[in-house]
A = this chain, B = another copy of it.
């Protein structure tokens, strides 16, 4: 049995439980002071939210996952602890735990994300490879998503200097299949990162989540050849929302594959043509200190109990249309902690869904 503290087991049980996303996880720890206390409190919270208690991950299931992670030579990084990358920890939706395989110290380096089209032109792939290589030689680690096209070229260019691949499924699942050799090489010489347990096949909903990790790990994101409404633009939006630098490589208006990048530049992304342009934009010397402060969960905030009247009034303000939590708090006229508590209860009861941009809706 690999070594895992009781707290880590409790954290993983929370993380793998139904209806508990990163924001709920954080709120539970903030409210109850520890994952174990949160686990104990969940049935009551869900009952107050008017639903059955969420199915909690069992201790044995989590122990099996921990064993499997050890068996495939990977390990965990927990939010707020040890080597968890500080830049990623800044995200409101930072993954509570990452599973990594390879050289985790790469995450101590200044990092630049490079993403782009899977069906990129040969010229753009060559450009991406050279750019990744030049950035790598300057001491930067490259983060990408191990997709076909630009992502693969970015990893190839930085394999010798430092490359980090964030995958949508488990780190032991080779996807896309033709990238198996590349993924194995990155696990050996670079770093594989995933939010999912081993064995999980990537599904479409995993990709946007994966994209936020790519953006969150990096000082800035460079987009090369992206179609409008592509995943690369989601990554760029995540980077912008996290206050990171968004950079794009331009192309001719006559090239459909340049549309997304040119549009990004029109919207304010920095036009980059070279590693120097990228380094000027992200200014790696400004990098934050390596060790983040422990995330302040504090001890249990006692006495933030919502009464039935508060609960009813918040529920009345909700329907199937996502609405910002800030707006709910403002309109309710109640203390933020009360509104958040009601939302937490509803979510644990399976009645609330969280959306991008801090919005929520009834399920």
Q: Residues of A with Cβ closer than 8 Å to B?
A: 123-124, 127, 249-255, 258-259, 262, 265-266, 270-271, 273-274, 277
Contact status A271-B277, CB under 8 Å: no
When distances are taken between beta carbons in the complex, the residues of chain B under 8 Å from A277 are 266
Give chain A's interface secondary structure class: mixed
**Interface residue from B123, B127, B262, B271 paired with A266 (Cβ < 8 Å):** B271
CA distance A123 to B266 in the complex (A): 22
Q: Closest Cβ of chain B: how far from A150's Cβ, in Å?
A: 14
Q: A254 vs B249: C-alpha distance in the bound complex, in angstroms?
A: 10
Q: What is the bound-complex CA distance between A258 and B273, given in angstroms?
A: 10
Question: B residues within 8 A CB of A273?
Answer: 253, 259, 262, 266
Bound-complex Cα distance A277 to B123 (A): 27
Contact B254 A258 (CB under 8 A): no
Does A252 contact B253, Cβ atoms closer than 8 Å? no
CB atoms of B254 and A127 under 8 A apart = yes
The reply to whether B274 and A250 contact each other, CB–CB distance below 8 Å, is: no
By a CB distance below 8 angstroms, the chain B residues around A266 are: 270-271, 273, 277
Docked Cα-Cα span, A259 to B259, in Å, equals: 18
- Complex Cα distance, B257 from A251, in Å, reads 12
A266, B254: Cα distance in complex, Å: 20
Chain A to chain B contacts (Cβ below 8 Å), 12 pairs: A123-B252, A124-B252, A127-B253, A127-B254, A249-B253, A250-B251, A251-B251, A252-B252, A252-B255, A262-B273, A265-B271, A266-B271
Chain B proximity of A225: nearest CB distance (Å): 9
Q: A252 near B250 (CB under 8 angstroms)?
A: yes
Shortest Cβ distance from residue A361 to the other chain B in the assembled complex, whole angstroms? 34
A123-B254 in contact given A262-B273, A271-B262 (Cβ < 8 Å): yes
| Measured CA separation A250–B124 after assembly (Å) | 15
Which of A253, A258, A262 neighbours the largest number of chain B CB atoms within 10 Å of its CB? A253
- 18 more contacts with CB within 8 A, not counting A250-B250, A266-B277, are A123-B252, A124-B252, A127-B253, A127-B254, A249-B252, A249-B253, A250-B262, A250-B271, A251-B251, A251-B252, A252-B255, A253-B273, A253-B274, A262-B273, A265-B265, A266-B270, A266-B271, A271-B271
A183 to chain B, nearest CB (A): 28
Least CB distance from A147 to B in Å reads: 21
- How far, in whole Å, are A258 and B258 apart by their CA atoms in the complex? 13
Is A258 a contact of B250 with CB atoms below 8 Å? yes
A266, B272: Cα distance in complex, Å: 8
Q: Residue of B at shortest CB range from A127?
A: B254
Nearest to A121 among chain B residues (CB) is B252
Measured in the bound complex, the distance between the Cα atoms of B258 and A124 in whole Å is 15
Nearest neighbor of A281 in chain B, beta-carbon distance: B266
CA distance A124 to B265 in the complex (A): 20
- How close is A335's CB to chain B, nearest CB, in angstroms? 45
Chain B residues with CB under 8 A of A250:
250-253, 258, 262, 265, 271
Residues of B near A123 (CB, < 8 A) are 252, 254
